[in-house]
């Protein structure tokens, strides 16, 4: 297992300019990444023989508008990656502007990123460019707004006039696994 210093050195050398800053977060290497480089860097982290970040542990959004310490932008997306074979972990953060919070999708690199990105879009309004099916996951298709944004009114009520489900996606997945319709 690489130390955080060696890990940081190795990652910084993968793509010039991708790593904006580095810090220690409770013993984990925490890297701010330029959003323009995120998908390419994550692919290199997964495929590099010395790193082998083969697991996306989690992907979450954040709204920093009322955060006590000022951040570079209103929104953030935090990626937690782990190497099962090497035993190291890394946190990647991207900061995104309020006007158009968007970053490239990594759904093609990790299967679980598909729904994690959809959840982050649904709750925060962050777009994942290149995602194959960016429809809402937790909220109804008619839902207006993004409820985990700090400016979303918590007492707001919405009338939903039609049903919505995930069966269109589940049918495809079940057929792929050999289950009859």
Q: How many CB atoms lie within 10 A of CB 155?
A: 4
Distances (CA, A) of 116 to 18, 68, 106: 23, 26, 10
What average pLDDT does the chain have?
A: 93
Among candidates 53, 42, 38, which has minimal Cα distance to 128? 38
CATH topology of domain 4-177: Beta Polymerase; domain 2 (3.30.460)
Mean pLDDT of 14-23: 97
**Residue pLDDT, tens place only, 39-97:** 999 999 999 999 999 999 999 999 999 999 989 999 999 999 999 999 999 999 999 99
What is the per-residue pLDDT for 86? 96
Mean pLDDT of 110-133: 97
Note if the pTM is more than 0.85: yes
User: Does the pLDDT value for residue 166 go beyond 70?
Assistant: no
Long-range contacts of 71-79 (CB under 8 A, 24+ apart): 71/95, 72/32, 73/97, 73/98, 73/101, 74/98, 74/101, 75/101, 75/124, 75/125, 75/126, 77/103, 77/120, 77/126, 79/42, 79/106
137 in helix, strand or coil?
coil
Q: How many CB atoms lie within 10 A of CB 79?
A: 25
**Residue pLDDT, tens place only, 124-138:** 999 999 999 998 888
Where residue 178 falls (left for φ over 0; alpha for ψ -120 to 50; beta otherwise) is left
User: Does the pLDDT value for residue 172 go beyond 90?
Assistant: no
């Amino acid at each position: 297992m690489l130390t955080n210093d060696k890990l940081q050195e190795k990652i910084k050398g993968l793509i010039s300019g991708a790593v904006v800053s580095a810090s220690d977060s409770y013993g984990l290497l925490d890297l701010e990444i330029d959003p323009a480089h995120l998908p390419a860097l994550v692919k290199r982290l997964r495929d590099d023989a010395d790193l082998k970040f083969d697991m996306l542990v989690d992907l979450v959004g954040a709204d920093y508008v009322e955060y006590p310490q000022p951040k570079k932008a209103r929104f953030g997306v935090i990626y937690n990656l782990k190497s099962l074979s090497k035993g190291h972990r890394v946190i990647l953060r991207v900061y995104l502007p309020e006007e158009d919070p968007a970053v490239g999708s990594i759904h093609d690199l990790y299967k679980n990123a598909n729904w994690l990105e959809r959840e982050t879009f649904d709750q925060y309004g962050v777009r994942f460019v290149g995602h194959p099916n960016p429809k809402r996951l937790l909220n109804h298709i008619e839902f207006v707004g993004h409820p985990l944004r700090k400016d979303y009114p918590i007492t707001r009520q919405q009338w939903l006039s039609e049903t919505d489900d995930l069966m269109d996606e589940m049918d495809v997945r079940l057929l792929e696994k050999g289950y009859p319709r």
